[in-house]
Structure 1
Amino acid sequence: MFRVRVEELGSGWGLVERDGWGDVFDALKRPRLVRGGGDGEVLMIGGLRSGFAVDSPCSTVMILRLDLGRMEWEEAGKMPMEMYKCFATAAPGGSGGQGGGNNKVKVFGGEGRVWFSGRRVSGRMAMWEEEKVGGGSWRWVEGIPGYGDGVYRGFVYNAGFTEIP
């Protein structure tokens, strides 16, 4: 781990913004940024709202790619509906799995891979992997250690000591 002060970075911060980007941000609920697979790419992951109201339920998870060279967004992927339904939890009186329930999905990753975990999905995580051409591929990763509320946080470290010659 390392630490650096903002003043030491040199040029400081610059506003990255374009007309029309508001529509992109308004379409996603709880967006997260992750480093893309290529240099100069950023991925934004969030729930795709089914309407324009602030409290609209989500219909799936959307991945958008920002090309920093061109400053343009493009759709990189959408979580398949069968996979998304596994993350959905029925709210009281809700439609569970139809986008109307509590379907919080934890998102993390980097370098072209995005991982998704949730309370309803134990022992596995969904993974999206960016491909060179087109969008990306979705798959389940099985055998993830966890507990009733989801996967463990952090990582497993197996320390050991061997004989010193």
Structure 2
Amino acid sequence: MPPESLRCKECKTPYPLEARFVCERCFGPLEIAYGSLDADPAELRRRIHGGPRSLWRYADFLPVAAPPPPALEAGFTPLLRADRLAEKLRLEEVWIQNDAANPTHSFKDRVVSVALARARELGFDTLACASTGNLANAVAAHAAAAGLDAYVFIPADLEE
């Protein structure tokens, strides 16, 4: 399911897949528009099951041309069965994704891994973010592991 274009979430204006951050028409946020899935479902399932033990196992669904060389492996974190929580919620089963097993102990590693791969495809050598916590850690760690520069902007009035 390859990405086809960027599309404004507000006014639906399409844009090419290039470095662009907001809609020029309404200043709305952009999201990725995917094409239809034309792969054989059995073949896709085989590729997923045979993929790496990271989020790149799902590369067919991610907005990058190809997985990057391994640096920090994010994703494929363990699922933990939560029987007492299921009982309390009166559900048959509850499973919890343990993203603390990611490199910086946060689900933000998944997002940053994909953003870093796309940044490299576009020729960028720097990652940047505004954050007060987990995103800052993930950007700094993944950029360092990939040999990229990183800038993290933290609010001046952040409590110590």
Q: TM-score range by the shorter chain?
A: 0.3 to 0.5
**What TM-score do the two structures reach when normalised by structure 1?**
0.32
Higher strand share: 1
**What TM-score do the two structures reach when normalised by structure 2?**
0.32
Greater RCO (Cα-Cα under 8 Å, separation 6 or more): 2
Higher helix share: 2
